[in-house]
């Protein structure tokens, strides 16, 4: 039996598709950074590309962390224990705020 906390972060088809889509966006943005460096593009443009890449990675990180909380601690939408549900909800909000 697979323990709840041992499941993969994208263990549903929809979850996997969402994470893969995010990774592909990150890869596309990383490619744009690489092209800008290789082509010796404008420094300001490169900095904007790097900022976008950083934001995309932060978004992916927040998604993985939120999924982990929902799977290992509690899912605020379904946990019957109001204290656990509230605690998980507060933690998820903190993750989203910190990763902005």
Residue 71 inside a domain? The answer is yes
Q: What is the pLDDT of residues 21-42, one digit of tens each?
A: 999 999 999 999 999 999 999 9
Question: pTM for this one?
Answer: 0.76
Supply the CATH number for residue 54's domain. 1.20.58.1000
The pLDDT value given to residue 9 = 52
The pLDDT value given to residue 99 = 86
Residue 9: name the closest of 57, 65, 84 by CA: 65
The pLDDT value given to residue 8 = 52
Residue 6 inside a domain? The answer is no
pLDDT (tens place) for every residue of the chain, 100 residues total: 334 444 555 567 888 899 999 999 999 999 999 999 999 999 999 999 999 999 999 999 999 999 999 999 999 999 999 999 999 999 999 999 998 7
Query: What's the CA gap between 81 and 90, in Å, rounded?
Result: 14
> Alpha helices, DSSP H only, in the chain?
13-38, 43-72, 82-98
Residue 92 inside a domain? The answer is yes
How many structural domains comprise the chain?
Answer: 1
The SS3 call for residue 80 is coil
Residue 20 inside a domain? The answer is yes
The CA-CA-CA angle for residues 3, 9, 15, to 5°, reads: 120
Tell me which residue range forms the domain holding 37.
12-98
């Amino acid at each position: 039996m697979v323990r709840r906390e041992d499941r993969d972060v994208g263990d549903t088809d929809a979850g996997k598709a969402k994470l893969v889509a995010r990774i592909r966006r990150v890869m596309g943005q990383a490619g744009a950074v690489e092209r800008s460096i290789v082509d010796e593009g404008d420094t300001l443009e490169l900095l904007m590309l790097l900022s976008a890449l950083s934001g995309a990675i932060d978004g992916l990180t927040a998604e993985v962390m939120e999924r982990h909380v929902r799977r290992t601690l509690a899912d605020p939408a379904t946990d019957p224990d109001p204290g656990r549900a509230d605690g998980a909800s507060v933690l998820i909000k903190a993750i989203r705020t910190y990763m902005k």
